[in-house]
Structure 1
Amino acid sequence: MAEINIPNEYRVELTPPDLSPYRTGNTGIPYIWRFESGAPGPNVMLSAIVHGNEPCGALALDWLLQQDTRPVAGSLTFAFMNIAAYEAFDPEDPNATRWIDEDFNRVWDTDVLDGDRDSVELRRAREVRPVLEDIDYLLDIHSMQHLAPPLMMSGRHARAKTLAASVGVPERVVGDAGHAAGRRMRDYGAFDDPDAPNTALLIECGQHWEASASALARESAARFLVATGTVSRDFLGAFPEPEGRQSAYTVIEAVTIKNEEFVFARPYSGGEIIAEKGTVLGHDGGEPVSTPEDGLMLVMPSKRLWRGQTAVRLARRDP
């Protein structure tokens, strides 16, 4: 796995919380907590720090746990994922600890989980895997490399866009099929089964270390719990109604890097609408990469421009 050696151009405004009080868990798995309501309802899960340098989700879960948030129906699971990378976080080099050995959010193919490969992230994924087996609704809380409009990533199936609309934030919802480099946790098992009701969302709350990412992580988690019937609507008392209507998009192409060098034509940050078909976005080993149609939105252009990685996703606005 390539070492992450990316200079940081953004101010670190967030202080990651101390998660040591949650180390023991109550499920037999460290840092995983589940609370039962005793009433019928879905099994709902909020997960954070799939990437160790994304503290907004940890701040949101810490906030909910400190409030003794409990389900009024079904069960509620709080899951702190890539603890090793999170504990290695250094605000002086905040890009370096996205992972320890490999990307935790690319190891969720069953063949990989059941295989012989070994890494810090795979050991943790195998450890927490049983928790995911009976989850009906998952919100996986993330953040982004660039300052860009927040996104709710809804996967391939319409049921997730419907759930995203019930959550109501952020303004942009993007359906996509993930990455060639490996399967995400939000696409694991029944979440990606077209015939199953299990539904997962992945929110990108803004730039990794901007203060507003923490605020959106808390709000989206609260709205998700209300939307799934896990807590009462009174829980939203501290949050104003969302401004504006959501707009939905679907990724039509994920640009996977084929060569040793990929260079963007300009410093894209994400959310840009590229008006004209044929606009050159960059060069992959000298080969131009262009937009295949008019009016496409750029989704999370990457700084990790290595062969096999996703350089950028291209999304069409839904009718």
Structure 2
Amino acid sequence: MHRFIAAESGPHVALTALMHGNEYAGAIVLADLLRTQLRPRRGTLSLIFLNLEAFARFSCETPIRSRFVEEDMNRLWTNRSVSSSQEQRRVHQLLPYIETVDTLLDLHSMLWPGDSLLLAGPSPVGAELAADIGTPPLVVIDGGHMAGPRLIDMPHFTRPHGSARACLLEAGQHWSLDTLDVTRATVNRFLSVTGVTDASPRPVPASRIAHVTHRVLAQTGRFTFTQPYCSGTVIPERNTLIATDGPDEIRTPYDDCMLVMPNFRTARTHTAVRLARFEN
């Protein structure tokens, strides 16, 4: 964790990367910021590498295995001890510091191909932050995971009438140069809109906002999509068959239904896909 404090008072802004050890585009961008010796013009800037133990296990031969050491760190952001895993210990180490952050962007990438997006949790201020960043232009709002709270779902960022805000970047497929470019552009935009740098944020087109309405969980080990859908695919007609789950059919519940991060290696009880509806 790297903390830089300006002479002029201001908010505490943070960038986090390596929540998952095989999603390292964000870590490259943070390392670049350290090399260029970026310093905030006011307030405090923190650059935080979250799961170093998982990243240390990365192997080009088996890249997926370094997602975590013992359990998914991005389901553990609570003060309640639910395990004694390496990830839980690291979360407990970081929680007091994260609770001093005013504005946070968590950097991720995707296993499967898809359009880059900004993901906001249930807090309106998180959605406003994502729309303010506006790069990439797609903002998806959801209620989190049943398995546990993500970093952006912490009470610190979601309590009613609170001012602390956070959102999450899904920059594209892991290990892609395009994903690195998107991450860099989003971080630069985030630094300008939060006032960390002197650069004035350039105007960007208004974000397109979608709300997750359904989280489809695999009920069997035979969940199969009808096509190799990419995240961001919009299905024009309601009742379109998109997958089967053993004997069950999965169909779109409304017109212009967007598929968010379909998972083609879904285990039983895990999220297979999220379905989202656009505002207006």
TM tier, smaller: over 0.9
List aligned pairs for 1:215-230, cutoff 5 A. Answer: 215-230=181-196
2-structure distance, mates of 1:187, 1:195: 15
Q: Per the alignment, in what secondary structure is the counterpart of residue 214 of structure 2?
A: strand
Identical residues among aligned pairs (%): 38
> Distance in 2 between the 1:200 and 1:163 partners?
7
CA distance in 1, matches of 2:84, 2:158: 25
| Residues 277, 291 of structure 1: 8 Å contact kept | yes
Distance 1:110 1:282 in 2: 37
Q: 1:289 aligns with which of 211, 234, 250?
A: 250
Contact in 2 for aligned 1:145/1:303 (Cα 8 Å): no
Equivalence map 1:115-264=2 (5 Å): 115=82, 117-233=83-199, 244-264=205-225
Aligned to 2:268: 307
Q: If the length of structure 2 is used for normalisation, what is the TM-score?
A: 0.94
Secondary structure of the residue that 1:110 maps to in structure 2? coil
Structure 1 equivalent of residue 59 of structure 2: 90
Deviations 1:36-84, CA, capped at 9 Å, x for gaps: 1132211111000101111100011001111111111111111001111
> How far apart, CA to CA, are the structure 2 residues paired with 1:280 and 1:179?
24
2:47 alignment counterpart:
78
Partner residue of 1:270 out of 231, 241, 255? 231
Residue 26 of structure 1 corresponds to none
Within-5 A mapping of 1:37-56: 37-56=6-25
What is the Cα deviation at residue 123 of structure 1? 1.5
State the one-letter code of the partner of 1:247.
R
SS in 2 for 1:269: coil
Structure 1 distance, partners of 2:219, 2:76, is 20
The one-letter amino acid paired with 1:308 is T
CA contact (8 A) 1:180 1:256 kept: no
Give the whole-Å Cα distance in 1 for the aligned partners of 2:218 and 2:96.
33
Ranges in structure 1 where 5+ consecutive residues have no aligned partner: 1-31
Counterparts of 1:304 and 1:86, CA distance in 2: 22
Q: How many equivalent pairs are there?
A: 280
Check conservation: 2:102, 2:163, Cα contact below 8 A. yes
State the 1:160 CA deviation: 2.1
Q: C-alpha deviations, 1:138-192, integer Å up to 9, x for none?
A: 1000001122110000112332222222222002111111111221111112212
**Separation of aligned partners in 1, 2:275 and 2:140:** 10
Summarize the Cα distance change of 1:314–1:261 in structure 2 as closer, same or farther, 3 Å threshold: same
TM-superposed deviation, 1:101:
1.0
2:203, 2:118 → 1: CA distance? 14
Unmatched 5+ stretches in structure 2: none
- What is the alpha-carbon distance in structure 1 between the residues aligned to residue 119 and residue 67 of structure 2? 19
Distance 1:243 1:78 in 2: 25
Give 3-state SS (helix, strand or coil) of 1:138's partner. Answer: strand
Give the aligned CA root-mean-square deviation in angstroms: 1.7
